[in-house]
C-alpha cells in the first residue's frame, strides 16, 4: 500500500446483519476463527457459537445475544482476513460495530468487548418496556426535512433521527405513537417511503438514557489503550485516537445518533478509496453505494467472500 491514494478502511456491521449459520464456514475452515468462537463461548459462559451456527432464529434475534454474536463473527472474519490483507488506515463500525472496530484497533480485548456488548444489549432491552418505543426508516428524504418531521411529530414525546445511514436512508427512534406520527408525516411531506422497523427497542435516542448510565459503569471499569488505527466514531463523525475519547464516545453512542453518512464522508475525505465490510451481511456496502458509488466496497463474511476480497485487493495494489 503506497500513499494515501490506496488508503484502506475496515468497516464492521451492526445489529440487523445477523443470520443463522453466520461464521460457521469460517470456523470450520480456519483454526483462528474457531478459536475466536471458543473464546466468546468461554467469556459468556454459554455456547454463543451454537446459536450463531444453528439458531434458533428467535434466540439469535434477542438483543443481548445478537450483539455479541455479530461482534464475534466480525472478529473471527477479521482475524482470518488481517493475516492475509494489507493493514487498514482507518476503522469504523455501525453502532454495535464500533466495538468490533475498537477490537480491530486494539483499544480493548475481544473477551472484554464480548461481555460488554452482551450487557449493552441487555441494558438497551431493559431501558424501555416492550411496546413503548419504536423505530422507523425514512427513505428518500434529506436530513433537515426528517429532523423537522421528528420535531413536528413529537408533541411532547421523544422522536429523533437515530441512524443517519446515507442520503437516502435515515432511521428515526422514540416513543411509539410519536414515531408512528412521524412516519405518516414523512409520507405526507414527500418521503419515498416510511416504514416501521421490527426492532425490540428504540435505539439511539434519549429513551436509552437508563441503558447509557448502566453501560458507562461497565466501560469505566474496562482496561483500554489508545487505538492503533484511528476509529471514525458514530456520535461525532470524527477520528478517535485516544482511549479516553474512545470511552466517552462509546458511552454517548447509546443515546446519540449514528452519523454513518458523515463518518464515511470523513474517511473518503481522508483519501480512502477501498472499504472492506468485515462480518455478516453486506448492509454497509449497500449504504456505500448510496453515499459514493465511485468507491470500492468489498465484504468478508465467509471463505468465498474472503477469497474474492483478497483477489480484488491484490489487483488494486499491483
Using a 10 angstrom Cβ sphere, with 0-12 exposed, 13-18 middle and 19 or more buried, the burial of residue 316 is middle
Strands 231-233 and 238-240, sheet pairing: antiparallel
Query: What span, in angstroms and rounded, lies between the C-alpha atoms of 179 and 161?
Result: 10
Q: Is the dihedral of CA 60, 65, 67, 71 positive or negative?
A: negative
Check 17, 49, 94, 204 and give the catalytic one. Answer: 204
Residue 10 three-state SS: strand
Is residue 102 flagged as an active site residue? no
Query: What span, in angstroms and rounded, lies between the C-alpha atoms of 206 and 208?
Result: 5
Close Cβ partners of 87 (under 8 Å, ≥ 6 residues apart): 1, 8, 229
Check 17, 49, 95, 166 and give the catalytic one. Answer: 95
Residue 225 three-state SS: coil
- 264: nearest Cα among 239, 298, 247, 241: 239
Residue 258 DSSP one-character state: B
Please provide the distance, in angstroms rounded to a whole number, between the alpha carbons at the two ends of the chain: 9
Query: What span, in angstroms and rounded, lies between the C-alpha atoms of 237 and 264?
Result: 8
- The answer to whether 250 and 103 are in contact (CB under 8 A) is no
Is residue 294 flagged as an active site residue? no
If one counts every other C-beta atom within 10 angstroms of the C-beta of residue 137, the result is: 19
Catalytic residue annotation: 95, 204
Amino acid at each position: 500500500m503506497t500513499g494515501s491514494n490506496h488508503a484502506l478502511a475496515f468497516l464492521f456491521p451492526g445489529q440487523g446483519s445477523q443470520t443463522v449459520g453466520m461464521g460457521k464456514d469460517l470456523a470450520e475452515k480456519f483454526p483462528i476463527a474457531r478459536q475466536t468462537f471458543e473464546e466468546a463461548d468461554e467469556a459468556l459462559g454459554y455456547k454463543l457459537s451454537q446459536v450463531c451456527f444453528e439458531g434458533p432464529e428467535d434466540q439469535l434475534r434477542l438483543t443481548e445475544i445478537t450483539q455479541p454474536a455479530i461482534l464475534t463473527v466480525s472478529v473471527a472474519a477479521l482475524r482470518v482476513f488481517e493475516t492475509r490483507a494489507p493493514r487498514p488506515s482507518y476503522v469504523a463500525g455501525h453502532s454495535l460495530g464500533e466495538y468490533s472496530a475498537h477490537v480491530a484497533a486494539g483499544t480493548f480485548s475481544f473477551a472484554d468487548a464480548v461481555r460488554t456488548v452482551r450487557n449493552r444489549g441487555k441494558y438497551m432491552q431493559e431501558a424501555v418496556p416492550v411496546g413503548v418505543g419504536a423505530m422507523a426508516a425514512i427513505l428518500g428524504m434529506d436530513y433537515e426535512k426528517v429532523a423537522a418531521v421528528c420535531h413536528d411529530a413529537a408533541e411532547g414525546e421523544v422522536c429523533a433521527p437515530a441512524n443517519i445511514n446515507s442520503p437516502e436512508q435515515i432511521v428515526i427512534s422514540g416513543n411509539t405513537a410519536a414515531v408512528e406520527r412521524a412516519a405518516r408525516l414523512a409520507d405526507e411531506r414527500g418521503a419515498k417511503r416510511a416504514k416501521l422497523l421490527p426492532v425490540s427497542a428504540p435505539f439511539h435516542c434519549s429513551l436509552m438514557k437508563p441503558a447509557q448510565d448502566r453501560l458507562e459503569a461497565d466501560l469505566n471499569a474496562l482496561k483500554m489503550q489508545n487505538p492503533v488505527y484511528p476509529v471514525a466514531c458514530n456520535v461525532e463523525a470524527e477520528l478517535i485516537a485516544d482511549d479516553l475519547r474512545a470511552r466517552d464516545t462509546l458511552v454517548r453512542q447509546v443515546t446519540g445518533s449514528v452519523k454513518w453518512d458523515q463518518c464515511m464522508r470523513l474517511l473518503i475525505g481522508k483519501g480512502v478509496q477501498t472499504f472492506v465490510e468485515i462480518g455478516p451481511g453486506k448492509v454497509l456496502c449497500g449504504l456505500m453505494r448510496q453515499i459514493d458509488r465511485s468507491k470500492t466496497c468489498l465484504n468478508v463474511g465467509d471463505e468465498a467472500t474472503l477469497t474474492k476480497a483478497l483477489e480484488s485487493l491484490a489487483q488494486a495494489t499491483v
